[in-house]
A and B are shown apart, each in its own frame.
Chain A
Amino acid sequence: MIEVKELTKRYGNKTAVDRISFSAGAGEILGILGPNGAGKTSTMRMLTGFMPPTDGSATLDGFDIVADSMEVRRRVGYMPERVPLYPDMTVEEYVRFWAKLRGVRRPQKSIEAVLDRVQLLDRRRSLVRSLSKGLKQRLGLAQTLVHNPKVIILDEPTIGIDPQQVIEVRAAVRDLAHNHTVLFSTHILSEAEQVCDRVIILNQGRIVAEGTPAELRQKLYPGDSVFVQIGGVGHAKPEKTLRGINGVKQVQKLAGGYALEAVAGRDIRADVVKRIQQAGWTLLELRPVAVTLEDIFLKIVSREDAEEQAE
């Protein structure tokens, strides 16, 4: 559905997107992950036809983003970083406007359907300005969906809303994958892990890693970690003991327990149980901890920095 080849964007002398290539299939949720300034927004703006690329090319549903810009725009639903709203319109007027502008034939049905979907149907006659932040976010989503686009591009849709609504939005995005291809950008790594089928990691305009969250974890961080909760410790300090266990690389004290990082390729669970028993403590909990993308990302970025310094 989305094919990107060597896409480049330069602002004057600054290269914001640097020859990136990737693709996304139909029904896939592709995450673009990266810190602020990585080039996520620039990439999305090129794909939506907002601005032409400096170099390279991309197609959406087989249409070139430069040559067939209008066709591409008809097939894309886009929600920019900051939800664009007309405060003086009502919810329904707002959605109708975008539906008509994007050439929806008989808009009333689609409008009601999409408002129902984002649970704003009962607020359809309210002024946009009177909506709460979360509702505004949903209205933004409604606008993105109203013309039933093949590709949906969401630029950091969970930024600046409260946690409950973040969860709702994430669920909504997952829901979209049934009928649409979704391009989803975020700088929160756990979010990408939860929502996306596949993730590309951008840093300073370049793709530094690509794959499913699991693949990335496997590739970049094969070592497992375990979480232990210990009882009956008294005044003793268990960190030292724990660090002494064979195969443990690092110990981190967390609320209510400890995270033990293992040396690559080693299962340390048996050794841990044994050692705790030896110390006369009670093992209350022992479970493996999945490596988060935060870790992966930190690692990639620091590796890149190191490479850069080496050059």
Chain B
Amino acid sequence: MRDDSIILTRSDIGQFASIAFALFALIAALSYFYAGEVRPHTLVLIALAALSLIAWALITPSEFVGFFTGRQARRGTVAVFSSVLVIGIISMAYLYVERQVIAYDLTETREFTLSDSTARIIERLPRDLRIIGFYSAENIAVREMDDQFWRQYEVLSAGRIQRIYIDPVEQPAVAETYGAQDGDIFIAFVDDNGEIIPQSISYVPMIDKHERDMSLAINRLLQEGSFAAFFDISHGQRSLRDTSSGGLSIAGELLGLNGWRVVEFDLQELVANDQPIPDEASVVVLSRPRQPFAPATIDAIDDYLRRGGSLFIMADPVFADSGFLLEDSAFNTYLWESWGIRALDAVVVELLPGLDNPSPLDVVSIQIFDSPITANVNLPDEPDSYAMFRLARALEISNTPPVNNGRAVLSSNMSYAETDLVALGLRDEYDFDEGEDLPGPHTLVGFAVDAETNGRIVLVGDSDFATDGQIGAPPGNAQLFFGSLNWLTEFEERITFGFQPSAIAPPTIFISPSQLDQVSFFVIFLVPGLVLLLGAGMWFYRSRR
């Protein structure tokens, strides 16, 4: 018979004290190693450990002496001490390994690995950077998820980027100065004393993927103000504020995300006041002006280009008698004479079979020439990376130009350019008329650069490709838009996180309902059912013997 009654003897209490000592000492040691310094709670733990040690010594002095002289020890005490020791060793190993930051990203899309683009951004950091994250305890899982990325920035930048976390619940005043909500992230430069430079604090909108959002934000901070796109609105152009399918709001937003300053300005007013186009305009964008440009305006533009400015013209076909950049207009003549490029009054018709363009008037980037403008267009591995123009003008590129010029995007050899715009515009009729229409291939995007002044022009025979309705469909449109701006502003090495085909359209899966039913049947009924059957069979077989 075993005596099961529980009686606390003096030695039991002594043993309890010894266990308490071991635990407190362990936690104190760990918290010291964890924090790397003695914190108040470490002191409290040490005090508790000391108290337990004293209690142990007072309650069972002989065992206490016995334990430390190694003569005799209660087995229970030894078991507890050895367990505590094992846990201690494991914890140390854990802390050591954690500090090493050994992590492998096993995802096929390398979702958690910082890309080369980010590395290039980090290389350009003029001074050290802080990532400041606001997370409350409730948001701890989000913080840990984000931390997977932020700590990689630390590693990749060899410590030049550092992350700090602030609890907005505990430090509401700090959160207030940033205007931060729980979960918000900011970045800021630090000065030589390691203090955050308040003017540089900027909010990191978390929209899509961690790396893209953060790298864009850093990039934006890097070139804050250094690049400005001036959009003229005085000739009836498309507007950055227009969020309809014909507007430029997405293009503007993407520019903003990429660190551009985006400005709308009134070119006519400038000219009327006899003012030049400002130098701060890295590029002037003309997106489908509706009116012809006056000679004074052309002079202002010429003046700007001579100062090394850049011009991005997107010109749609004109079906009326008057409009922007008619073939014989003053501006077109200027372009032809000074830059060797011009727009024709002809619409490209693409007759290449096997394309999935809805109509022959939807022209795609069949041929591209290697240039920064088309760096991310028609990528071999990404079938969606072509650009598409719905109704595009044919361009002409002079073979004996006054400056360097060239073709960036061409239609196919099977295409031609319809010159009968009346029939096309009124009756939607087009047909190749020998002698009248112009056989392809035709230039859809052309460029010119004056090597002396470094003035640059990109001319596109269409403006719809950059509108909200089409800039992402196909994704090559956005790449062409940004490629053009990058080339114009001479920032080929600039990192642009435009629409990435994979980001916009992850592979979607199409599974027929009957296939789904089969999978459900197999996985939910068949497999568990077979296991049950097997179990029943086994039980029956064994119990019958």
Contact = CB atoms under 8 A, between A and B. Distances in A.
Q: Do chains A and B touch in the complex (CB under 8 A)?
A: yes
Interface of A: 11-12, 14, 36-37, 90, 125-127, 130
Contact of A37 (B1, B9, B543, B545): B1
B4 to A, nearest CB: 12
B542 interface: yes
B173 to A, nearest CB: 60
A12 B76 CA distance: 13
B1 A127 contact: no
Contacts of A14: 3
B6 to A, nearest CB: 12
A36 B3 CA distance: 14
Interface residues of B, number: 6
A90 B542 CA distance: 8
A12 B545 contact: no
B545 A90 contact: yes
B345 to A, nearest CB: 92
Nearest to A52: B75
A126 B543 CA distance: 8
B543 A127 contact: yes
Contacts of B545: 90, 125-127
13 contacts: A11-B3, A12-B9, A14-B3, A36-B1, A37-B1, A90-B542, A90-B545, A125-B545, A126-B545, A127-B542, A127-B543, A127-B545, A130-B543
Nearest to A126: B545
Interface in B505-545: 542-543, 545
A127 B545 CA distance: 7
Nearest to A36: B1
Contacts of A125: 545
Interface of B: 1, 3, 9, 542-543, 545
The 6 tightest CB contacts between A and B, nearest first, are A125-B545, A126-B545, A127-B542, A37-B1, A127-B543, A36-B1
Nearest to A89: B542
Nearest to A129: B543
Nearest to A91: B545
Contacts of A11: 3
Which DSSP category, helix, strand, loop or mixed, fits chain B's interface? loop
Nearest to A124: B545
Nearest to B2: A11
A37 B2 CA distance: 9
Contacts of B542: 90, 127
**Most chain B CB inside 10 Å of its own CB: which residue of A11, A12, A130:** A12
A130 B545 CA distance: 9
Nearest to A37: B1
Contacts of A37: 1
Contacts of A126: 545
Nearest to B7: A12
Given A11-B3, A14-B3, A37-B1, 10 more contacts: A12-B9, A36-B1, A90-B542, A90-B545, A125-B545, A126-B545, A127-B542, A127-B543, A127-B545, A130-B543
A37 B1 CA distance: 7
**Most chain B CB inside 10 Å of its own CB: which residue of A14, A36, A127:** A127
A51 to B, nearest CB: 11
A12 B2 CA distance: 12
Contacts of A90: 542, 545
A306 B542 CA distance: 59
A227 B9 CA distance: 56
Nearest to B12: A12
A90 B1 CA distance: 31
A125 B542 CA distance: 8
Nearest to A12: B9
Nearest to B545: A125
A53 B3 CA distance: 19
A299 to B, nearest CB: 25
A232 B543 CA distance: 63
Contacts of A130: 543
A125 B543 CA distance: 10
A9 to B, nearest CB: 13
Contacts of B543: 127, 130
B125 to A, nearest CB: 65
B145 to A, nearest CB: 46
A20 to B, nearest CB: 20
A80 to B, nearest CB: 14
A37 B3 CA distance: 11
A90 B544 CA distance: 12
Contacts of A127: 542-543, 545
A90 B545 CA distance: 9
Contacts of B3: 11, 14
A290 to B, nearest CB: 33
A36 B1 CA distance: 8
A156 to B, nearest CB: 13
B439 to A, nearest CB: 88
